[in-house]
């Protein structure tokens, strides 16, 4: 990552801190394995908030587009990001493990030097589809094969002809 944004998480919440900015996918090193290319632009907002129970949390909002690789045709696929995540700040490992048992709430360990861009990258990676694909009819595989999925040049064309006999 080219830039690093480090905060004291609990102090950030106490002061109702907020930080916003723009980053490119090229600045997020771990995200590279999921991308078709480094084009795109992401805008983020990180805010220190208190949740409904009065517990300290970080709200992460990310909007923008990135290019993933379609798992059908392996071509570039524009993916729109519009995510919002609230991460409860836990004071120690025991609180964090109790939170893991709940499973419905996300949390992170509140450390004095928290890398915000790493948190943003984590949330982006967690929001990505497992197997990104173009919509039906948009994939280049379908365009190359034509409308007939089992055409004359297709390896199963002979089997399709046999199936029609019975």
106 neighbors 126 (Cβ within 8 angstroms):
no
Answer whether residue 158 is part of any domain.
no
Mean pLDDT on 10-16: 92
Q: Identify whether 130 is part of a domain.
A: yes
Residue 163 pLDDT > 90, yes or no? Answer: no
Higher pLDDT, 103 or 77: 77
Looking at residue 1, its pLDDT comes to 42
Q: Average of pLDDT values for 112-132?
A: 93
Residue 150 forms part of a structural domain? no
β-bridge mates for residue 115, sequence order: 6
DSSP states of 49-97: EE-TTS-EEEEEEEEEEEEEE-TTT--EEEEEEEEEEEEEEESSHHHHH
Q: Measured between alpha carbons, how far is 40 from 128 in angstroms, rounded to an integer?
A: 15
Instruction: For residue 39, tell me if it sits in a domain.
Output: yes
Identify whether 30 is part of a domain. yes
Length of the chain equals: 166
Q: Is residue 43 part of a domain?
A: yes
pLDDT at 79: 94
Does the global pTM surpass 0.85?
A: no
pLDDT digits (tens, 9 = 90+) for 14-32: 999 999 999 999 999 999 9
User: Does residue 142 belong to any structural domain of this protein?
Assistant: no
Name the maximum alpha-carbon separation found in the chain.
76
Calculate the average pLDDT of the chain.
Answer: 85
pLDDT the model gives residue 25: 92
CA neighbor of 15 nearest in space, from 62, 54, 56: 56
Provide the residue range defining the domain that includes 11.
6-134
């Amino acid at each position: 990552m080219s830039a690093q944004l480090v905060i004291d998480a609990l102090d950030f919440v106490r002061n109702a801190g907020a930080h916003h900015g723009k980053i490119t996918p090229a600045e997020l090193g771990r995200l590279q394995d999921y991308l078709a290319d480094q084009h795109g632009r992401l805008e983020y907002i990180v805010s220190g908030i208190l949740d409904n129970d009065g517990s300290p949390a970080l709200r992460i909002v990310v909007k923008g587009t990135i290019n993933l690789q379609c798992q059908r045709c392996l071509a570039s696929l524009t993916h729109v990001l519009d995510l919002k995540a609230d991460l409860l700040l836990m004071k120690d490992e025991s609180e964090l493990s109790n939170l893991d048992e709940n499973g419905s709430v996300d949390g992170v360990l509140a450390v004095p030097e928290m890398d915000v861009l790493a948190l943003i990258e984590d949330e982006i990676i967690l929001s990505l589809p497992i197997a990104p694909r173009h919509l039906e009819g948009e994939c280049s595989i379908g365009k190359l094969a034509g409308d007939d999925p089992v055409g004359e040049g297709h390896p199963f064309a002979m089997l399709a002809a046999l199936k029609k006999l019975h």
